[in-house]
Amino acid sequence: MFIRLSAGTAMPLRALASLPFLALVACAPDGSPGDDVPLDTDVRRASYAIGQDIATTLEGIEDMVDRPALLRGFSDALADISPALTDMEMRDAIVAFNEMLTSAQADEIAGARAEGEAFLADNANKDGVMTTESGLQYEVLREGDGEVPQEGQQVQVHYRGTLIDGSEFDTSYGGDPASFSLGGVIPGFAEAIMLMKVGGHLRAFIPADLGYGDSGPGPGQVLIFEIELLGIE
């Protein structure tokens, strides 16, 4: 469930908190060896599971890593061969790499924000779309006939969250309704619910600064939530 407030901005390279793992990712230069490595013993299956777990530390940056060099570092470490780089050279390289990732992430976020601003500017002119003082946009899909929730109250809802490209990042549909305090969710989501009456159905278009900001699903992006307000607890 992603609609709660984010704890903070994610680092561009999650593995930087445990750098020794960078030298342990056994990737073949041309990709996975696939069936060439049988997984027919507990040791091999456990080794495969360890490899899978370690590889997740490179998720999102795998295309920026030089696999032959990564494999060389892995092989040298296992063979107890003296490192080809000094400790200082390795630290400097990691710092430079992290700076490169940070810059790439900043460019990606800036692009997402520009795309979101253009989307909202166009969306504001569509029939039925309303814009609040905060910049939240919403469209009423079904009017409710019950009470209007107030700040800090506990509500029960069904919701679906997508990005502007249509990709879904969170939903309560397919399970039990979600129940939470309006003081514990992102500002745009709480504001949207307080525009509704129980029984209503609304589509909210939440600017990044009313959502997860530059973290969470879709850093810097506009979030679109369809919300059904089922009750106030």
Q: Per-residue pLDDT tens for 127-159? A: 999 999 999 999 999 999 999 999 989 999 999
pLDDT for the residue numbered 223 = 97
In terms of domains, do 165 and 68 share one?
Answer: no
Closest CA to 134 of 201, 206, 215, 182: 206
Domain membership of residue 114 (yes or no) is no
Residue 191 lies in a domain: yes
Do both 98 and 136 map to the same domain?
no
Q: Looking at the domain assignment, is residue 29 inside a domain?
A: yes
Nearest to 18 by CA among 48, 58, 47: 58
Determine the 3-state secondary structure of 185 from DSSP.
Answer: strand
pLDDT at 34: 57
- Given pLDDT bands bounded at 50, 70 and 90, which one contains residue 65? confident
* φ, ψ (nearest 5 deg) of residue 157: -140, 160
Report the SS3 class of residue 211: coil
- Exposed / middle / buried, residue 96 (Cβ in 10 Å: 0-12, 13-18, 19+): exposed
Residue 166 inside a domain? The answer is yes
What residue numbers bound the domain in which 152 lies?
126-232
User: Are 27 and 90 part of one and the same domain?
Assistant: yes
User: Do 59 and 14 contact (CB within 8 A), yes or no?
Assistant: yes
Classify 13 as helix, strand or coil. coil
Q: Quick one: pLDDT at residue 214?
A: 92
pLDDT of the residue at 63: 83
Pairwise CA distance, residues 129 & 7, whole Å: 31
Residue 113 lies in a domain: no
Same-domain pairing of 44 and 135: no
Neighbours of 213 (CB within 10 A): 16
The count of residues in the chain is 233
**Each residue's pLDDT tens digit, 170-229:** 999 999 999 999 999 999 999 999 999 999 999 999 999 999 999 888 899 999 999 999
49 within domain boundaries: yes
Q: Is 123 in contact with 137 (CB distance < 8 Å)?
A: yes
pLDDT: which is higher, 35 or 173:
173
As a whole-number percent, the residues of the chain with pLDDT over 90 amount to 64
Between residues 123 and 25, the one the model is more confident about = 123
Residue 229 is predicted with a pLDDT of 97
- Does residue 75 sit in the same domain as residue 172? no
Statement to judge: residues 135 and 220 lie in one domain: yes
pLDDT of residue 14: 37
Assess whether 86 and 167 both reside in one domain: no
Last residue of a domain, one of 68, 103, 138: 103
103, 138, 154 - which closes a domain: 103
Are 82 and 174 contained in the same domain?
Answer: no
pLDDT tens column, 68-88: 898 888 889 888 999 999 999
Same domain, 25 and 60: yes
19-29, pLDDT tens digit by residue? 344 434 434 44
How many folded domains does the chain comprise?
2
The confidence score (pLDDT) of residue 12 equals 37
Q: Which residue type, as a one-letter code, is found at position 87?
A: D
The pLDDT assigned to 18 comes to: 38
Would residue 87 count as lying in a domain? yes
Per-residue pLDDT at 32: 56
Residue 60 pLDDT:
77
The CATH number covering residue 137 comes to 3.10.50.40
Q: Which residues are designated catalytic?
A: 159, 169-170, 186, 212, 225
| Closest to 231 in 3D by CA, of 144, 137, 143 | 144
Instruction: Give pLDDT, residue 10.
Output: 36
Give domain status of residue 7, yes or no.
no
